[in-house]
Structure 1
């Protein structure tokens, strides 16, 4: 289940990217781009952390707003159809999504929330949850919460934290982890959403395809199967800006074996379509910022910090994308076919003209 010791050492740079992400989210919260009362409990000495630059804050806002939109749509659609749903966050790191859902308007829609990551990450998270009253209270009755896997896992009636190396054969990891004495933890009969935030890009295409295929096979037998997936990651790394990104990461001993098959945004949906997903679509963060976030929100965040490097911002956002895919049986295709990001506001005229040029 766990990688050999030398692999864990080699993976330390990848694990540190979770620190980058949690500090970026903390900064965006402190600067009022986002609301998240839980992230401070998962960042050591959060009150002493300096803010991130405006470019990072805006990128974090766009990423979080779009993924929240897709997740909340999933929860709402499940409720509208009279069913509960499951969410599996792979490479979850210090994400707080479970707590935000469990204390929000969609909490009744959640049947199970599963998080998986390296044991070094999950052990820190399990400890942080146990130390924080705010985090542990959301899990429910303390008598129903158990520590597992030698302190690297945690289980409650709804929330489950597992240690796992997602690059290993899924049958050897997921098949064991998601089974329990009383039955499978995930029900193939419930709509299930997979989240991959900067995860698959660190895996080989063969390993990431095997991981997705395992879930497709797991949910296929049910005639009413509904499986959704959201991937957020960098791409288009073959151009000059992308090569600089790759070199900067290489200097930190981080490689991106999963980026090679995706030279442009049009190639990203192929990850899902090649595995039999019913539909898939991808948008860059640049496109999402301009057209898929309410104009009132964009106007609000424009007042938070001054930013002159709009061209630089667009260049960065154009190398990150959110891709979502849907795997459904014909019996329920119509009910789920509208799930996805929708245009909220037309981009300003000058930005349209710049794109055309």
Structure 2
């Protein structure tokens, strides 16, 4: 007797299901020793029953995570050097644990080799936005797990709102929003209240999009970036952005990826304007940003991860599909850019160095 056919989610439910896929992939990479993340388990349903993901997925998750962490750490280091706090806005954040991981990291005064505080102390605000169904689930997990809640602050300073879809604390804020709607409806009421804006346009602010814009129409994603561009142009803060997603899906391998996702009722309209690597910086240049760079995960794995680390992870699992791994990694990219205030020549020189750097074998 055949097992009952599994009913696949459709529409927005299918997109929301990709967050569960990402969380399970991260949990697998943690269990196999690729990554360290003590905070992912509370965000995974029945984590003790989950099977490990294939080595190809574990390695891709590792490369993605290491590169994104380095870019975020570099942003925070620049803010620290300028003596200012910053803001991070993670859109489509899903089950991401970055805020809690940042809270674990100390700021080190390298001149005196001493700890001067937590990396979280550099944050004025850390804001996450996602579908209401996702934020409700995440807020419940945060409130349920003592360690997650304790990092947010005193219990009396942490509150739920809007039927449990929203969570506020002194630094961390979890908000429900549909980014496909016009920013005047989705972003402005949440972030830019005329009387008491949650997001300050005068502080350095980093936007994070991890596999988000690719699920939106090009027009919708352009509107989101233009809204932030206009908001910070009116202020004086540096605006940065990191985007991780698929691109170049018009070749034979890309079409296979697209068809596999279509079978799960997931489409990728946002990939159409980026048929090849050279088009990726246009994401920011079309909005007048001064800095725009990109790297594929394939190149990051080859040249931007310490060879000693590559040797370490090579010992974790046997991987036979090297060619397939490189094909997959070549269709994922991390693009980052920055929009600087007017007349900021010296500032541009400093922020122009923000990015990934090649690693040598003798680096620690």
Pick the TM interval, shorter chain: over 0.9
Structure 1 position 253 matched with structure 2 position 268: no
Hey, what does 1:337 align to over in structure 2? Answer: 352
Is 1:131 aligned to 2:144, yes or no?
yes
Alpha-carbon distance, 1:293 to partner: 1.0
Match status 1:177 vs 2:178: no
Alignment correspondent of 1:159 = 172
Q: Answer yes or no: is the 8 Å Cα contact 2:10–2:264 preserved in 1.
A: no
Tell me, in whole angstroms, the C-alpha distance in 1 between the residues paired with 2:276 and 2:174.
34
Q: Quick one: distance in 2 between partners of 1:55 and 1:245? A: 14
Correspondence for 1:202: 215
1:160-197 per-residue CA deviation (whole Å, 9 max, x = no partner) reads: 00000000000111110114596211111110000000
- 1:61 alignment counterpart: 62
| 1:76/1:109 contact within 8 Å kept | no
Deviation of the 1:345 alpha carbon: 3.4
Tell me whether 1:168 sits opposite 2:169 in the alignment.
no
Shift of 1:10: 2.2
State whether residues 11 and 266 of structure 2, in contact with CA within 8 Å, keep that contact through their aligned partners in structure 1.
Answer: no
User: Segments of 4+ in structure 1 off by > 2 A?
Assistant: 179-182
Asked if structure 2 preserves the Cα contact closer than 8 Å seen for 1:103 and 1:138, the reply is: no
Work out the CA distance in 1 between the residues paired with 2:189 and 2:10.
25
Question: What CA distance in whole angstroms lies between the structure 2 residues aligned with 1:323 and 1:239?
Answer: 20
Q: TM-score, normalised by structure 2?
A: 0.91
Partner secondary structure for residue 83 of structure 1 = coil
**Counterpart of 1:234?**
246
Q: SS of the counterpart of 2:270?
A: coil
What are the residue-to-residue correspondences of 1:1-357 with 2, within 5 Å?
10-105=11-106, 106-179=119-192, 183-222=196-235, 224-329=236-341, 330-331=343-344, 332-345=347-360
CA displacement, residues 315-349 of structure 1 (integer Å, 9 cap, x when unaligned): 11001000001111242212211111111138xxx
Q: Deviations over 1:9-39 (max 9, x none)?
A: 6210000000000000000000110000000
Q: Provide TM-score, normalisation by structure 1.
A: 0.92
Distance in 2 between residues matched to 1:182 and 1:140, nearest whole Å: 25
Ranges in structure 1 where 5+ consecutive residues have no aligned partner? 1-7, 347-357
- Partners in 1 of 2:162 and 2:70 — Cα distance? 33
